[in-house]
Amino acid sequence: MKKVLIPTKLDPVAATILEGQGDYQVVQDAKTPLADLLAAHPDTYALIVRSEKIGENEMTALPGLKVILRAGAGYNTIDTKAARARGIDVMNTPGANANAVAEEVIAMMLADARHLVAADASVRAGEWEKSRFMGRELAGKTLGILGLGYIGQLLARRLRGFEMTLLGYDPVISEERARELGIRLVPAEELFEQADYVSLHLPENEQTQGLVDRDLLERMKEGATLINCARAGIVNEADLREVKPRRKLRFLNDVYPKDAPGPKPIADLCDLMLPHLGASTAEANQNAARRAAEQLVEFDTKGITSYIVNRDIPAGLDEAYGELAHVLARLARAVLGDDAALDQVETSFYGNLKPYANWLTIPIVSALARGFDRSLDYAAARQYLHDQGIAYEDRVTDDSKGYANSITVDLVGRVGPDESRHVSVRGTVAESTLMIARINDFDKLYFEPTGHLVAYSYEDRPGVLGCIAAALAEAGINIDDVRNPHDSQGRQSLAILKVNQPVPEAVVERIAERVNAKIAFGITID
């Protein structure tokens, strides 16, 4: 019998499912202090938790521990690195709380629009202040959803009945899928400019930390509302503090750096704040409990590892190729353009990389989708693309082409109903250094994709590279390296430059206009 310890208030369906298998002994106890509970059950095989902190001390107390399941999506309370070092797999249950969070967003919107919290307190105090609590209606307003994963899509479905205009931004979701949801895809900047309400539904990672900054906040309509039921770090608190009073914004918040009692530094910024109640429904608790139990059974009986969040790099694969796959996808997306809805992803793995094709797909998807966790597995990556309406193909490769251990990432996207775009980027690793070999028809680049980059493609003619360099100098930007190849027909040129600082979007666009660039983008790769 495998002992499963559940030291938290979790729906009993988890214990029912596991005990029904006949292979598990379940101990569920939310009252005993965690340390005492661990000491009493050192033979625990699997641990199912909610928000409990599980670090090295807790793992040391359970020498037989093999699996930790987080009944929910976030797993920042679990030391995943320490778990991996001990051979412990950590899983989460993404999507189990999605409907609860989507409904919470709507509840917050309505409560704020109709001043329900303040009005309740006023009436209880014996007052009658109808004029003070003049509200707003959601019907006819515009909602912008930043991140169209499980929660973002459910929110769109729920709010269609309110007759709101729905805007969305997600680099991965297809235009067709968005159209099915009644969402018009727009760049993030346009979303913030047009929306009366902006709701955030992104994970917190290197790409999204501080994403909602001064630039985006300044674009919001005067009196617009920002809702954060995702992660605290997505919003730049200092920028919000500066912009909010000037733009008369409203801020509805349910997330904090730490879930703990005590004063909250952002209390003065919040027009409505809740104690991280997004997943706090009986239904969400039951869904998460059921998912955790089912995943443990599937893991033990079928070897299904789709939701392991601390996976190792496969034996025999140089870690640099995982980073290469990630960078190639980021570059390809930059070339495709943020205005293009992604329809298809194609990959080609050459040489000794073929056996690792499935694993290498994961960093590619994570680069294209802020809503996908890079620590998940191939099945989860494919499912994520499927849910977003994105086709995926891993092509059969021909090693006679001499590409050695190379990776090619192709993206197909659309701008509006008529214009289709196709981008292809190939790279390899040479002496532990990432190298970009080709972008579209511009071959033999041999460019290291690190630091601050800016690129332009244009009709080949004299003086263009000098014009780009002069414009960068005008902006106080120094060039560290440059590649300037022609295409195979000698008609188009690509200038890709490594510079000493990020190039502001306004500068990128100004140079693009001067040289009549077909492709223009700036990107920073750490």
Domain chopping of the chain, boundaries: 2-95+283-302, 98-273, 314-440, 452-526
Rounded to whole angstroms, the Cα distance separating 403 from 421 reads 25
Helix (H) or strand (E) holding 326: helix 319-336
Two tokens, residue 518: 């077909």
411 touches 342 (CB < 8 A): yes
- What pLDDT score does 150 carry? 85
Question: Which of the following CATH numbers is that of domain 314-440: 3.40.50.1820, 3.30.450.40, 3.40.50.1370, 3.30.1330.90?
Answer: 3.30.1330.90
Q: Which CATH class is domain 452-526?
A: alpha beta
How many other C-beta atoms lie within 10 A of the C-beta of residue 436? 22
- What pLDDT score does 171 carry? 79
> Which long-range contacts (C-beta less than 8 Å, at least 24 apart) are formed by 77-84?
77/49, 77/51, 77/52, 77/53, 78/49, 78/53, 78/54, 79/54, 79/55, 80/309, 80/310, 80/375, 81/310, 82/55, 82/56, 83/54, 83/59, 83/310, 84/310, 84/312
- What pLDDT score does 62 carry? 96
Mean pLDDT of the chain: 91
Given a cut of 50, the residues of the chain with pLDDT beneath it are none
355 touches 336 (CB < 8 A): no
Rounded to whole angstroms, the Cα distance separating 392 from 87 reads 32
- What pLDDT score does 156 carry? 96
- What pLDDT score does 129 carry? 93
CA nearest neighbour of 349 among 289, 382, 396: 396
- Is-same-fold flag (2-95+283-302; 98-273)? yes
Which residue shows structure tokens 């040391």?
Answer: 60
Tens digits of residue pLDDT in 157-186: 999 999 999 999 987 888 888 989 999 999
Bridge-based pairing of strands 44-49 and 67-70 is parallel
- What pLDDT score does 192 carry? 98
Looking at the domain 2-95+283-302, which fold is it?
Rossmann fold (3.40.50)
- What pLDDT score does 352 carry? 87
Two tokens, residue 334: 């930059």
Bridge-based pairing of strands 419-430 and 433-439 is antiparallel
- What pLDDT score does 317 carry? 81
Could you tell me how many residues make up the chain?
A: 526
Which residues, other chains included, contact 468 with Cβ-Cβ below 8 Å and sequence gap of 6+? 456, 495, 497, 511, 515
Q: What is the DSSP letter of 383?
A: H
Domain 98-273: CATH superfamily is: NAD(P)-binding Rossmann-like Domain (3.40.50.720)
Rounded to whole angstroms, the Cα distance separating 97 from 72 reads 7
